[in-house]
Amino acid sequence: MYYTDKLLQFPVRVEKPSPIFAKALQQAIGGVEGEIRVCLQYFFQAWGARGDSKYRDLLLNTATEEIAHIEMLATAVALNLENAPLSLKEDVAADVAGGSVLNGMDMRHVLSTSLAALPTDANGVPFDCSHVYASGNLAADMFSNITAEATGRKLAYSLWNMTDDPGMKEMLSYLIARDTFHQNQFMAVIDELGGLQANLPVPNSVAPEAELDEFSYQQLGFLRDGSLPPQGRWSAGPSPDGKGEFTSRPMEPLGGEPNLAPPRPGGGAQVQQMTGGGDGGGLLHKAAEAVKDSFS
Looking at residue 274, what is its pLDDT? 84
Give the model's pLDDT for residue 96. Answer: 43
Q: Report how far residue 47's alpha carbon sits from residue 4's, in angstroms, rounded to the nearest whole number.
A: 20
All residues at 6 or more sequence positions from 47 whose CB lies less than 8 Å from its CB, including other chains? none
Residues in contact with 229: Cβ distance below 8 Å, sequence separation at least 6, in sequence order: 219, 220, 221, 222, 223, 235, 248, 250
Q: Contact at 8 Å (CB) between 135 and 28? A: no
What per-residue confidence (pLDDT) applies to 287? 57
In a 3-state reduction of DSSP, which class is residue 222? Answer: coil
Looking at residue 11, its pLDDT comes to 98
Question: Tell me, what's the pLDDT at 87?
Answer: 64
Q: How far apart are CA 15 and CA 79, in angstroms?
A: 9
Collapsed DSSP state (helix, strand, coil) of residue 180: helix
pLDDT at residue 280, rounded to an integer = 47
What pLDDT was estimated at residue 98? 46
pLDDT in tens, 62-111: 999 999 999 999 999 999 998 776 665 566 556 544 455 556 788 888 88
**Which residues of the chain have a pLDDT value below 70?**
85-103, 277-296
179 near 149, Cβ under 8 Å?
yes
pLDDT at 93: 53
Average pLDDT in the chain: 90
